[in-house]
Amino acid sequence: MTDPYTAPGMSPGLTPGHLGAPAEEPDGRPPGEPYAVEPPDPRKVRTGAACCLSVAAIAGVACMVLLAVVLLWPSSSEPRAADVTGGGAGSVQVSVDQGASLTDIGRALVADGVVASVRAFTDAAANHPAGNRIQPGTYTLKKKMSVAAALGILLDPANANALTIPEGRRAEQIYAAVDQRLKLAPGTTKGVAQQHSGDLGLPDDAKGNPEGYLFPSTYPVTGETTALGLLQQMVKQSNEVYGTAGLDSAATALAQTPYGILTVASLVEGEADNPEDMAKVARVIYNRLAKNMPLQLDSSINYALGRSSLTTTTTDTQLDSPFNTYLHTGLPPTPIANPGRDALRAAADPAEGDWLYFVTVRPGDTRFTDSFEQQQKNVAEFNAYQAQQSSPPAGGGH
C-alpha cells in the first residue's frame, strides 16, 4: 500500500514539516539557531575572553604600581630636613652618654641649638662611613652649625671630654682618676664617697662600700660635673647592668648571693689573663668553694696590700687580712675591683670542668688542672719564666 503522504519519488518516512520531524535547517547551522544569527566560533570566543582578562590584569598591575608610587613617593609638600650653612658661632657643651643612639645625639644637638633638625643630623651620620662611631663624652660645639660641621667635631675622639674607667680598677684608683680629671686635690673624691655613701644609690648588700659598684665605662665631663655626680653615674650604670646580667638566677644555681657573684666576678677580673679564660677561672673558684678549700688568689692579697704584682712571697701569704685567701676559706668580704661585662658573664655562667688549680705560666699561657702534682710543675715553669724576665721567683699558684 502506498503511503498517501509520500510524494512521488520520495522514500517513505518522516518528511519535512511532518509532525515529529525536525524543521528543515540550512546546511551547517545547529538545530534551533535563528537563521539570521551566525554561530560563534569557539576559537574566537576563547581568544576574546583571554584578551579581556589580559587587559584587566595589566590594568590591575598598573593601578597597584600607581598606588604604591602615591603611597611611597615623598609628598612634594613635605619639607626637606632643615639645615644651615657654616660653622656656627658662640660655644655650647653637649654630652653624649654611653650607648646613645644617633637620634638621641641629634635631639641633644637640637635642644642646645647646635643643628636645625634631628633628621638632617641622623641622615648625615647614617651616610658617613664612621657616623656610628661617636664616642661618649662632652663636646664643645657652636650654635647654628651645619650638620656636617657638627659631625666633624663629634667624630674626632680627641674632642670628647670624658672620663674612662677601665675594667678591673679598684675604687681607690677610680677616686684618684676622678680627682685628676676634675682637677681636685688628691683624696677629695674618696672623702666624698665616704661622706655621701648614702647618696650614691648603693644596694643594701654593699653596706655603704662602693667597691664593685663603680662600673667601668666612659662618662661625660662638663664644667658642672662634680665628684659626687660622677660616682652616682657609675653606681647607676652598675645597677642597670647587674639587673640584666642574671646575677639573681646565677646566685640560686651556684649557691651564692648576688653580692657573692659580684665578688667572684671581681676575682675573675683580677686573675684571668684574657677574656677567653675567665669562665674557667670562675669554675676553679666555685670548685674550691664547694670543697671548702682556700682560694689562694694573689689578686686578693694584692688588694689588701694596695698593689699590683705577679709574684706572691711566703711572707705575703701570712698577711693578717680578711682578704688573704691563703689563710681564710670562702670569698673575701667585698669585691676587690669593679668588674666589666665579660667577668660578670663568666661569674654568672662558669665553664664546665673539675679544675682546682690554674697558673698563668706566661702571657697567653694559662694552665688549668685538677692535679696538685701537675700544678707544681706548672708553677715551676712560671718561676723559671719569671727568672728569665729578671723578676724574683715566687712560690705562688692557685
Q: Tell me the three cell numbers of residue 275.
A: 677574656
Own/partner pairs, 359-367, CB within 8 angstroms, 24+ separation = 359/396, 359/397, 359/398, 360/273, 361/385, 363/273, 364/273, 364/274, 366/272, 366/273, 366/274, 366/277, 366/280
**pLDDT-wise least confident of 6-15, 106-115, 160-169:** 6-15
**Per-residue DSSP letter, 207:** T
Distance CA 38, CA 55 (A): 27
| pLDDT for 8 | 41
Q: What's at 327, amino acid-wise?
A: L
Predicted pLDDT at 77: 43
Task: Report which of 354, 395, 337 is spatially closest to residue 170, judged by C-alpha positions.
Answer: 337
Residue 28: which region, alpha, beta or left (left: phi > 0; alpha: psi -120 to 50)? left
pLDDT of residue 39: 52
pTM: 0.73
Q: What are phi and psi of 359, to 5 degrees?
A: -155, 140
Task: Encode pLDDT of 350-370 as tens digits.
Answer: 999 999 999 999 999 999 999
Q: Which three cell numbers stand for residue 96?
A: 653624649
Determine the 3-state secondary structure of 37 from DSSP.
coil
271-304 pLDDT, tens digit each:
998 999 999 999 999 999 999 999 999 999 999 9
| Per-residue model confidence (pLDDT) at position 65 | 53
- What CA–CA distance (Å, rounded) separates 120 from 105? 12
Which residue would you say has higher pLDDT here, 244 or 69? 244
pLDDT at res. 311 = 79
Q: Which of 98-102, 106-110, 252-256 is the least confident region?
A: 98-102
Residue pLDDT, tens place only, 54-82: 555 565 655 565 555 445 554 444 456 78
Query: What does the alpha-carbon distance between residue 195 and residue 182 come to, in Å, rounded to a whole number?
Result: 18
Q: Distance (Å, rounded) from C-alpha 335 to C-alpha 363?
A: 25
- Average pLDDT in the 210-235 region? 96
Task: Give dist(CA 155, CA 151) in Å, integer.
Answer: 6
With CA atoms as reference, report the closest residue to 148 among 171, 121, 188, 170: 121
**Percent of the chain's residues with pLDDT above 90:** 68
Give the residue ranges of DSSP H helices in 147-218. 147-154, 171-181, 188-195
More confident residue, 213 or 87: 213
Q: Is the dihedral of CA 333, 336, 338, 339 positive or negative?
A: negative
Reference 297, options 356, 374, 256, 210; nearest CA is 356
Number of Cα atoms under 13 Å in the Cβ half of residue 341? 6
- Of the pLDDT bands very low, low, confident and very high (cuts 50, 70, 90), residue 7 is very low
Per-residue pLDDT, 178: 98
What is the average pLDDT across 133-147?
93
Report pLDDT digits (tens) over 16-59.
333 333 434 344 444 444 444 455 555 554 555 455 455 555 65
76-106: pLDDT as tens digits: 444 567 888 888 899 899 999 888 999 999 9
Where does residue 123 rank: exposed (0-12), middle (13-18), buried (19+ CB within 10 A)?
middle
Who contacts 131 (Cβ-Cβ below 8 Å, separation ≥6)?
A: 102, 124, 125, 151, 155
Distance of alpha carbon 101 from alpha carbon 122, whole angstroms: 9
The pLDDT, as a whole number, for residue 69 is: 47
93 forms bridges with which residues in the sheet? 140
Return the pLDDT at 3: 42
Say how many CA atoms lie within 13 Å of 89 toward its Cβ. 0
- What does the pLDDT read at residue 223? 87
